[in-house]
């Protein structure tokens, strides 16, 4: 009877050993993708090996992004000892492979991952040295699903939520609480809001009235070239932040409405800077004493702009306004002060011709208003 019991015990141990061959490893990935960490570290996890003697293994990791071909991968031969193995200490020389340079910079330099949904999987393979299936054989795979929410907060600043405005070209501003802020670009969106519709649904589902990408600063004046805003129509606006094409965060949308006030119509048009490259042929441009211009120089380090003025009959007029046309790479703002240097005729139409090294005779047609009348 004792021999039978011993045989059954050995059989049970063999069966247990067979099961352990598949379940000898426990992988705890949660610490690698735990939200709220200052830096993301995909190698900050542990593997528990339940075998009695060290084992040679191959460790594979893959972070895959939903709705994208981007990835982070690694592969490394390691030696697991019995008990808890910290991967960061076990294999400090693991080299991560990235789908692109921007993702590598985002992870290696800033310790961040883009906004969105991802899947992180780790596979452990052991080496089988005999039999028909000799070679590396997978024995364990563990996956976790990640929903990376806003990793920093974008706060809309102006106009405040629910603002009642009396200008058609308000300045929309926001702030970003992140060390990444100097390296980010922004997308600004404005959409009409329907009755009984939430702000989130309006910005997500309605056709955008204005959609500007690659904004480098943290404010934007609603431009002349955008579809005009209308009286008594509620609008929602929102901002997204991008690091070299990767979405990093978004704000909670805010709402504003334009109230009728004809006394300020002319001032409203003048509150926006006219983009030299985009506002050609814009509608009803009004200059109450001054004309504000913006120009983003991209093709060279500097340039010098020249200006010519035409009357309503397209006859040339001498410009008496001192204008410094020197511009440098990036965003430039120019102010043409007709009021103090060359008062034009009230409510008369004029054309401003602008030329530079990279373009010639861009036309800005405007109506001059004397602010004293």
Report domain 22-148's class.
mainly beta
Where, residue-wise, is CATH 2.60.40.1930 in the chain?
273-373
> Which residue matches tokens 């939520």?
161
In this structure, which CATH number among 2.60.40.10, 3.30.70.420, 3.30.497.10, 1.50.10.20 belongs to the domain 150-263? 2.60.40.10
Question: What's the N-to-C CA distance of the chain in angstroms?
Answer: 118
In order along its 373 residues, the chain shows pLDDT tens digits of 443 333 333 334 333 444 445 468 999 988 887 766 667 889 999 999 998 899 999 999 999 999 889 999 999 999 999 999 999 888 778 899 999 999 999 999 998 999 889 999 999 999 887 766 778 889 999 999 988 876 567 999 999 999 999 888 888 999 998 888 889 999 999 999 999 999 999 999 999 999 999 998 898 888 877 888 888 999 999 999 999 999 999 999 999 999 875 434 444 444 467 888 876 655 457 788 888 888 888 899 999 999 999 999 999 999 888 888 899 998 888 889 898 888 899 889 999 999 999 888 888 888 888 877 7
The pLDDT value given to residue 55: 92
Where, residue-wise, is CATH 2.60.40.10 in the chain?
22-148, 150-263
User: Distance between CA atoms of 30 and 47, rounded to whole angstroms?
Assistant: 12
User: Distance between CA atoms of 180 and 307, rounded to whole angstroms?
Assistant: 39
pTM: 0.66
> What is the β-pairing status of strands 274-275 and 290-304?
parallel
Of residues 145, 162, 156, the one with CA closest to residue 259: 162
Judged by DSSP in three states, 235 sits in strand
CATH architecture of the domain formed by 273-373: Sandwich (2.60)
């Amino acid at each position: 009877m004792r021999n039978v019991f011993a045989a059954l015990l050995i059989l049970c141990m063999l069966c247990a050993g067979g099961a352990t061959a598949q379940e000898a490893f426990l992988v705890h990935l949660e610490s690698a993708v735990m939200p709220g960490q200052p830096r993301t570290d995909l190698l900050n996890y542990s593997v528990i090996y339940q075998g009695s003697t060290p084992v040679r293994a191959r460790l594979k990791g893959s972070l895959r992004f939903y709705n994208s071909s981007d990835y982070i991968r690694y592969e490394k031969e390691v030696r697991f000892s019995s008990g808890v193995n910290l991967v960061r200490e076990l294999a400090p020389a693991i080299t991560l492979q990235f789908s692109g340079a921007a993702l590598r910079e985002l992870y290696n330099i800033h310790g961040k991952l883009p906004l969105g949904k991802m899947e992180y999987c780790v596979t452990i393979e052991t080496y089988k040295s005999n039999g028909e299936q000799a070679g590396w054989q997978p024995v364990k795979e563990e996956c976790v699903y990640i929903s990376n929410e806003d990793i920093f907060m974008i706060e809309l600043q102006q106009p405040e939520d629910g603002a009642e405005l009396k200008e058609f070209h308000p300045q929309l501003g926001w702030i970003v609480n992140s060390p990444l802020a100097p390296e980010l670009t922004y997308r600004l969106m404005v959409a009409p809001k329907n009755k009984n519709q939430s702000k989130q649904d309006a910005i997500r589902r309605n056709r955008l009235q204005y959609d500007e990408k690659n904004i480098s600063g943290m404010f934007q004046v609603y431009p002349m070239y955008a579809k005009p805003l209308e009286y008594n129509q509620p609008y929602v606006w929102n901002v997204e932040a991008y690091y070299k094409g990767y979405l990093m965060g978004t704000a909670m949308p805010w709402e504003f409405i334009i109230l009728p006030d004809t006394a300020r119509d002319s001032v409203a048009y003048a509150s926006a800077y006219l983009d030299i490259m985009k506002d050609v042929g814009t509608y009803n441009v009004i200059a109450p004493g001054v004309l504000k211009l913006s120009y983003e120089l991209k093709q060279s380090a500097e340039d010098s702009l020249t200006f010519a003025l035409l009357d309503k009959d397209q006859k040339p007029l001498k410009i008496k306004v001192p204008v410094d046309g020197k511009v440098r790479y990036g965003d430039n703002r120019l102010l043409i002060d007709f009021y103090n240097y060359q008062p034009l005729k009230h409510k008369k139409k004029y054309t401003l011709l602008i030329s530079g090294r990279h373009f010639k005779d861009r036309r800005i047609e405007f109506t001059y208003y004397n602010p004293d009348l």
